[in-house]
Structure 1
């Protein structure tokens, strides 16, 4: 059996889990997340702990039990603490400004870049060169950060562009004659 799938998930106080035949819903202080269930995995809620067991002895069911356990654990963490991703802008004149559910970026193009945030994802700009993306859904937060980074990826010669705050950009040496 999957090592990850064997570990139970302890539900913190204030988190409610609803398990139906084809869906699991996790509700907490940060919001509500739901996800379809796979028929290869049985989910049981015992004494505020979630247990995941494969429905049969197949390799797919074993793998899916670990996958489902990891996804549900991320849902529980998301509705209790939430997830955040920090981006930084490196370059002369690169600026970011959050206005409601839109992010206005000035990235050296001839036009401003406006990115609309998806539902459930918030954006803040503590300074003009920092962006903090937060939300309960780990996948949405990461995808939004990747989309914003894709507007101007860090280039390898000067390092200019949008990068994750913990990202290390290796600077190449310029060509010599």
Structure 2
């Protein structure tokens, strides 16, 4: 009986040792593959961007200038190490040499940024924001102050504080004539339009109250383009 117990204990110890070895080598292999994946270099990665007929794209020293029917936009991409090669008047090839995963991801980001510029100069961007309140009506006006335009927000949660947000260059804001308590934000630059909307939403955050109960604020309700596709 004693011998049987000792043999069972030794078998259990061997199994535990074997499982421990398997886990150790599995974690070792996983960490090695993970490290290899992060240190692996791609010899060359390309992205091709198609340019519409009514748009011209000029690139000099990684400064991209896009001109279209709605105007002109410029984007400085000197901080991203990519190579631009104009295949034709209607296509641009963006290349990364010896890049890792993050560098290749940055390549796709560059392509998206230029595509947003093209959309901006052809269709423009339009964001709609709705005023949400339960008791205290939010009053919003567009005012001129010191030679610049501002969005003036009053009576948020009944507060005496008057909030001002500067309207960025190239952005137009107006109160909707068809929908009550709606602000329409338009412009060619997606960054400027979305940043202005974010500034308005952030300055109207509810503080020191239960946000599950107090839902007051000004929120983006719709995103789209000024020129709609038929």
Which string of whole-angstrom CA distances, capped at 9 and with x for unpartnered residues, describes residues 83-114 of structure 1? 12211111132122234632222223214323
Segments of structure 1 that go 5 or more residues without pairing to the other structure are: 167-177
- Alignment partner of 1:14: what SS? coil
Please, what TM-score do these two structures have when normalized by structure 1?
0.79
Pairing partner for 2:152 from 93, 101, 104: 104
State how 1:73-84 maps to structure 2 within 5 Å.
Answer: 73-84=115-126
Deviation at 1:32, TM superposition (A): 1.5
Partner of 2:31: none
Deviation at 1:128, TM superposition (A): 5.1
More helix per residue: 2
Deviation at 1:162, TM superposition (A): 1.4
**Aligned partners of 1:31 and 1:111: how far apart in 2?**
38
Segments of structure 2 that go 5 or more residues without pairing to the other structure are: 1-40, 223-230
Moved over 3 A (4+): none
Pairing partner for 1:32 from 51, 69, 72: 72
What's the C-alpha RMSD, in Å, of the aligned pairs?
2.4
Partner of 1:163: 219
Partner of 1:53: 95
Which string of whole-angstrom CA distances, capped at 9 and with x for unpartnered residues, describes residues 96-140 of structure 1? 223463222222321432322011111111055111111111111
Partner of 2:52: 12
> Which one has the largest radius of gyration?
2
Deviation at 1:157, TM superposition (A): 0.3
**Aligned partners of 2:216 and 2:132: how far apart in 1?**
5
Size of the aligned set, in residue pairs, is 163
Task: Give the stretch that moved more between structures: 157-166 or 86-95.
Answer: 157-166
**Aligned partners of 1:6 and 1:29: how far apart in 2?**
28
